[in-house]
Structure 1
Amino acid sequence: MNINDIKQIKLQDFLAAIGCKPVKQYGVNLMYLSPLRAEKHASFKVNTELNKWYDFGIGRGGNIIALAELLYNSSDVSYLIHQIERNAPSSVSVSLPTTKPITPQNSFEHLQVLPITHPALIKYLEERCIDVEMARTVCKELHFDTRGKHYFGIGFPNIAGGYEIRNPFFKGCIAPKDISHFYAEEPKKVCFVFEGFMDFLSFMTLRKLKNPQQTGLSLQDYLVLNSVTNIHKTAKRLSRYDSVQCFLDNDNAGRNAYLQLSKELGKSVTDASTLYNGFKDLNEYLCAESKHSERAEIKKSKGIKL
């Protein structure tokens, strides 16, 4: 792929490939929660006619190369093309170079994998209503350098040795990107499927709230897509289960992923999103439940009958 080919990739397709889905549409404009930072109200716009983006929160915009510069913290065009090719939608024809790629100077360096202890990351988990001790059982605190600057975030491992990364200002991954699968040597009969690791942690938090004794991963197996574009990687793994319960987002992308999996695996696949009807995803439902429980506790402490 040369730079002209890269610029022909539709921004909405590229964003979908890295796990970002629009939350609103106004004519030719799609609105997203910014992939460049944490936010609750969509302020990242893609004009599908011009194939340009603009982030109102930081006052920046441009084409796919300009977006990749911020996503991958680099101005090295060769590196950016490689990163976009790696995440390019499957519908886009990508011809990778036959020569051995040069390791970019601006890639992630000096990676440290530590237990989660940083106050900013703990606060971020608490703001998402995630049980911190539960998160520590599967997530790590990652520290790394890129372009001469130091960064850190919550890392969620996948089966290929890569990590999904989250912090209050960043959403991305350390390659390779892949699914995450938690299972015992003797797989259980049931596997729960989640779209992202925050949904998975939300489920584990909800389960712990309902039964504080259940703190481990041993009750059933779990698979996290880390992006609905990874759904094609799951059929073989999930075919071994008698029951596959999907806790995917209540949007078109989540429903399409469920239908694709149901088509491939048949009656073993069930839609568990009815648990959080009226909410976008499990984390939104968890936060609403947590606020409700908090209000109930306040009323109880004041002697108010519920």
Structure 2
Amino acid sequence: MNFSNNSFSIKQAKEIDLVNYLKSLGFEPEKIRRDDYWYLSPLRDEKETSFKINRRLNRWYDHGLGKGGNLVDFGIEFYKCSIPELLNNLSGNLSLQQPIVYPIENSVQQEPKIKIIEVTTLTSYPLLRYLEQRTIPVAIAQQFCKEVHYNLNDNTYYGIGFKNDLGGYEIRNPYFKTTASPKGISTCENGSNEVVVFEGFFDYLSFKAMTKNLPENSQDFVILNSVSFFERARPFMENHESIRLYLDRDETGQSYTKRALSLSTKYKDESNLYQNYNDLNDWAMNFGKSKKINLRQKNS
């Protein structure tokens, strides 16, 4: 069911499964009790879960705020927008994340949670080989990443782990991409007036490899870990005089870039550097070697 060229009605918006909608925004339940899905509230900061979705009723309630309702009520609270603005967002006319629309009765059950067993220095040969394939120097990866061993469905795996500000990890290996919750953005604050923004941590690592001779405190950084976290990252980003965006060149990444440019002249689109590629790391892997000097000179 594709609404990208049409406008959502209020009725259609209310029929979107709230659990899947929150998943599209990067929020996962902390626990599930029958039909009740409990979250750390997406509407405010908290340490104990008090935001509940009853999936059978497809209704939410935030016990800390004393508010609840359907998806339209949630969207108005989450985006601080009007109903017409929310319906435009859902229809793809604005650059907010398009929700996944599933019938409630066919919705999948909760994905098994990952349990981290051990976090160590990156040393496993398959992971080092994977970094080489992604043109990431091992020394750069070891500076910003860890080797994470985790349990999933009673089996043990390991991957390259990149930590976010909430203590969770983005985990990658040659065969699997996952997240050890909680999921969130990663920031690096060096006291700079300029912040550089990436969707994923491989783009960040590529950038650090290309600009390794720059002073460490020359820039601040945001790694969104999901482009749907753009709004969540805005307070940090907009606390800077200059915001340089290295978002993906796909439709979603470019729509977020377009929205950012409409918000403030602080935002600058740097994605033309890799305009024929999906993202900065893809460019670095396939074409960037002859162009890296330009990026170094620009950042100097």
Give the structure-2-normalised TM-score. Answer: 0.61
Change in 2 beyond 3 A, CA 1:160/1:84: closer
Equivalent position SS for 2:160: strand
Instruction: Tell me by how many angstroms 1:116 deviates.
Output: 0.4
Once the two structures are TM-superposed, the CA of residue 183 in structure 1 deviates from its matched residue by 0.8
1:279 aligns with 2:277: yes
Supply the distance in 2 between the matched residues of 1:96 and 1:169 (Cα, whole angstroms).
38
Name which of 192, 196, 200 aligns with 1:192. Answer: 196
- Counterpart among 189, 208, 223 of residue 204 in structure 1: 208
> C-alpha displacement at 1:17, in angstroms?
4.4
Deviation readout 1:78-122 (Å, 9 max, x if unpaired):
6999599999xxxx9663798xxxxx9953335211110000110
Structure 2 residue 200 is matched with structure 1 residue 235? no
Alpha-carbon contact 1:206-1:286 (below 8 Å) kept: no
Question: In 2, distance between residues paired with 1:83 and 1:123?
Answer: 39
Q: Does 1:165 pair with 2:171?
A: yes
Q: Which runs of 5+ in 2 are unaligned?
A: 1-14, 43-54, 64-109, 292-300
The correspondence of residues 91-170 of structure 1 with structure 2, limited to 5 A, is: 95=60, 107-170=113-176
Q: What secondary structure does 1:222 align onto? A: strand
- CA distance in structure 1 between the partners assigned to 2:171 and 2:279 by the alignment: 19
Opposite residue 278 of structure 1, the aligned amino acid is: N
**Contact between 2:197 and 2:221, CA under 8 Å: does it hold in 1?**
yes
| Aligned-CA RMSD value | 3.8
Mapped to 2, the partners of 1:251 and 1:173 lie a distance apart of 22
Aligned length: 216
2 CA distance for matches of 1:153 and 1:229? 23
Q: How does 1:257-276 map to 2 (within 5 A)?
A: 257-264=256-263, 266-276=264-274
Q: What code does the residue aligned with 2:199 have?
A: E
Q: Pairwise mapping of residues 37-56 of structure 1 onto structure 2 (< 5 A)?
A: none
CA shift, 1:224, in A, is 0.6
Kindly state the Cα deviation for residue 261 of structure 1 after the two structures are TM-superposed. Answer: 2.5
Checking the alignment, whether the CA contact within 8 Å between 2:148 and 2:160 is kept in structure 1 is: yes
CA shift digits 1:32-52 (9 cap, x unpaired): xxxxxxxxxxxxxxxxxxxxx
Question: Compared with structure 1, are the counterparts of its residues 123 and 181 closer, same or farther at alpha carbon in structure 2 (3 Å cutoff)?
Answer: same
Cα 1:291–1:241, aligned 2, differ >3 Å: closer, same or farther? closer
**How far apart, CA to CA, are the structure 1 residues paired with 2:224 and 2:205?**
13
Aligned equivalent of 1:33: none
Match of 1:51 in 2: none
Q: Are 2:249 and 2:277, in contact at CA under 8 Å, matched by a contact in 1?
A: yes
Matched, 1:251 2:250: yes
Distance in 2 separating the partners of 1:273 and 1:201:
16
Deviation, structure 1 residue 77 = 8.7
Equivalent position SS for 1:280? coil
SS class of match (2:284): helix
The amino acid of 2:265's aligned partner reads: K
In 2: Cα distance, 1:94 partner to 1:259 partner: 32
Amino acid at match of 1:263: S
1:144/1:151 contact within 8 Å kept: yes
| Contact persistence 1:195–1:227 (CA under 8 A) | yes
* Equivalent residue letter for 2:256: A
Distance 1:83 1:283 in 2: 36
Q: TM-score, normalised by structure 1?
A: 0.60
Deviation at 1:172, TM superposition (A): 1.1
